[in-house]
């Protein structure tokens, strides 16, 4: 079982000092990865389905991961997730290639399609066809990352006679993970990614989603065993719970921060390193 830590860019970790300290501690404790969330803006006042209060701090994923990369050596750096249909894929390809270069090939590109219409409206991104646009944007980004002479012609993205350097360190491109709890998300993971990520799931919810991913793999002709399953569980996880997630087919647990300050998060990191890492 791999262990990651979610929220290295938000809450208490929105402080650069705390983010660096937590990242170093997680690497020393044996965590495999650190993960960011993303909302460029959130509704004010908070209304469902907005997940956080309007004054909740959340740093940009690519910028924060590049900062954390300078304070660590080995730990992998994941976006969990970037809301792809809100982004310009050409600009994002440059940003994430930069993060991968600065981290010497440690980036994991986790993708979501988004669900907060006020966020899309404020950014000026259309709220319709989010899934289709995400797939096309990803294809365009991979073209920029991997083709000797990048060229792409889609419904929403077109370019030819251009180039962008440097390319990502990882070849042909950084690892792709799709997040989401819908059949469409399972399908994207099965067809387009190395992994699937389920956020805030209990054990039974994780089992149902894993069954959905298996079904999507069968439909896509993909060997389910090739796919890496990551889950952020709800609440704290002890050794027995971690083992149950592993038995259900989870390869990576990305744990939520559970403390209100830097000392508390560092204590959580130390506890996980002592009680869970290497024991599941």
Tell me the Cα Rg of the chain.
18
pLDDT band at 2 (very low <50, low <70, confident <90, very high): very high
Burial letters for 102-121: b for 16+ Cβ neighbours within 10 Å, e otherwise?
Answer: bbeebbbbbbbbbebeebbe
- The C-alpha atoms of residue 280 and residue 30 are separated, in whole angstroms, by 13
**How much is the pLDDT for 279?**
97
Cα of first residue to Cα of last residue in the chain, in angstroms, is 6
82-98 pLDDT, tens digit per residue, is 999 999 999 999 999 99
DSSP class of residue 12?
A: G
The upper half-sphere exposure of residue 50, i.e. CA atoms within 13 Å in the direction of its Cβ, equals 18
Q: Smallest Cα–Cα separation from 194: which of 232, 233, 223?
A: 223
**How much is the pLDDT for 150?**
98
Whole-number average pLDDT of the chain: 98
196-225 pLDDT, tens digit per residue, is 999 999 999 999 999 999 999 999 999 999
Name the H helices within 148-202: 183-192
pLDDT at 42 over 90: yes
The answer to whether residues 162 and 94 touch, using CB atoms and an 8 Å cutoff, is no
Rounded to 5 degrees, φ, ψ at 61 are -60, -50
Rounded to 5 degrees, φ, ψ at 208 are -65, -45
The answer to whether residues 61 and 79 touch, using CB atoms and an 8 Å cutoff, is yes
CA dihedral 271, 276, 277, 280 (to 10 degrees): 180
pLDDT band at 235 (very low <50, low <70, confident <90, very high): confident
Sequence spans of domains, the chain: 2-275
pLDDT at 147 over 90: yes
CB atoms within 10 A of CB 181: 17
241-272 pLDDT, tens digit per residue, is 999 999 999 999 999 998 999 999 999 999 99
Tokens of 10: 């938000």
- The C-alpha atoms of residue 97 and residue 31 are separated, in whole angstroms, by 23
| CATH domain 2-275 topology | TIM Barrel (3.20.20)
């Amino acid at each position: 079982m791999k262990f990651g830590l979610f929220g290295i860019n938000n809450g208490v970790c929105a402080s650069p000092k705390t983010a660096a300290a937590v990242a170093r501690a997680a690497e020393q404790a044996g965590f495999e990865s650190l993960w960011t969330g993303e909302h460029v803006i959130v509704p004010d006042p908070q209304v469902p389905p907005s997940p956080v209060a309007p004054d909740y701090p959340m740093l940009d994923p690519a910028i924060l991961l590049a900062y954390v990369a300078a304070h660590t050596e080995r730990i992998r750096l994941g976006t969990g997730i970037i809301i792809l249909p809100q982004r310009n894929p050409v600009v994002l390809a440059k940003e994430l290639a930069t993060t991968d270069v600065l981290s010497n090939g440690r980036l994991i590109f986790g993708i979501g399609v988004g669900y907060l219409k006020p966020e899309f409206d404020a950014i000026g991104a259309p709220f319709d066809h989010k899934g289709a646009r995400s797939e096309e944007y990803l294809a365009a980004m991979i073209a920029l990352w991997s083709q000797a002479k990048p060229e792409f012609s889609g419904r929403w993205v077109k370019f030819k006679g251009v180039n962008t350097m440097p390319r990502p360190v990882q070849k042909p491109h950084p690892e792709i993970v799709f997040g989401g709890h819908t059949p469409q998300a399972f399908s994207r993971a099965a067809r387009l990614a190395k992994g699937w990520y389920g956020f805030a799931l209990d054990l039974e919810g994780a089992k149902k989603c894993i069954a959905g991913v298996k079904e999507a793999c069968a439909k896509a002709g993909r060997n389910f065993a090739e796919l890496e399953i990551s889950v952020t569980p709800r609440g704290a996880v002890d050794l027995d719970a971690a083992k149950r997630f592993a038995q259900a087919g989870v390869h990576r647990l990305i744990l939520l921060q559970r403390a209100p300050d830097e000392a508390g998060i560092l204590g959580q990191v130390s506890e996980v390193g002592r009680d869970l890492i290497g024991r599941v």
